[in-house]
Amino acid sequence: MYNILIIEDEKRVADLLQAGLTESGYQCLVAYDGNMGLRLFRANPVNLVISDVVLPGINGFELCKQIRDINPSVPIIMLTALGSTDDKLDGFDAGADDYMVKPFDFRELNARIRALLKREQREVQPVVNEILYSDLHINLNTKEVTRGGKLIPLSPKEYNLLVYMVENSEKVVSRIDIAEKVWNTHFDTGTNFIDVYINYLRKKIDRDFESKLIHTKTGMGFILTDKL
């Protein structure tokens, strides 16, 4: 049985989540503020976290970062009324795997939970511990990225996006491919998440180097290559 930690200061919402997830076969822990959520996470085996952003004590973004320091791989879903693009980017930069805006459809939440838990089951320690492409080096154990020997700090989502693009180097990947493989979800066509993160990567990976690795294929997507 999977253990899900719910961190939600509105008791009505927390009770609804707990009832629905229990009915779906999950075991739930509930915290009503960020500090309590962090204590429960430290003290119990947790397979997935659902957290609000606006919380008493530690806010959801800071809580997500602290949970990531303790367990880099546990799936985290942010469930909040804050739905702007900046809010979502802050959530992903803090380490969240998914971000849902209230009010939400419980069936969709359940589907996203199942997808994240299946992903965790599939993930195994890589046989190789590094990826090399041109002068780009990714250490899969320490998650450090260097280019030309220069250390490049990346957020969790920037790192995951870069690994995906390097693993698919010399191939055009569409925005839908990236949404599915990096975010494990489908974004509506009005969102610009992918382009925002591609621009983040370009500034960090390409800006200070003569050879550019990340290129746009108009109408198709993006490609990582040193041959253009």
Residue 4: the pLDDT is: 97
pLDDT band per the 50, 70, 90 thresholds, residue 122: low
CA geometry: angle 5, 7, 12, nearest 5 deg:
110
Going from the C-alpha of 49 to that of each of 80, 81, 147, 167, the distances in angstroms are 13, 17, 34, 28
Q: Is residue 147 very low, low, confident or very high in pLDDT (cuts 50, 70, 90)? A: very high
CA distance 203 to 141: 24
Is the pTM higher than 0.75? The answer reads no
Q: Does position 187 have pLDDT exceeding 80, yes or no? A: no
What is the average pLDDT value for the chain, to the nearest integer? 90
Q: Dihedral angle at the C-alpha atoms of 176, 180, 182, 188, nearest 10 degrees? A: 60
Phi, psi angle pair for 83, to nearest 5°: -120, 15
Domains of the chain (ranges; CATH) run 3-122 (3.40.50.2300), 130-224 (1.10.10.10)
**Does the structure show a pLDDT above 80 at 125?**
no
CA atoms within a 13 Å half-sphere pointing along the CA-CB vector of 208 = 12
What is the spatial distance between Cα 31 and Cα 100, in angstroms, rounded to a whole number?
19
The answer to whether 137 touches 145, Cβ cutoff 8 Å, is: yes
Sign of dihedral through CA atoms 211, 216, 218, 219?
Answer: positive
Cα 136–chain centre separation = 22
The answer, yes or no, to whether residue 29 has pLDDT greater than 90, is yes
Distance CA 99, CA 85 (A): 11
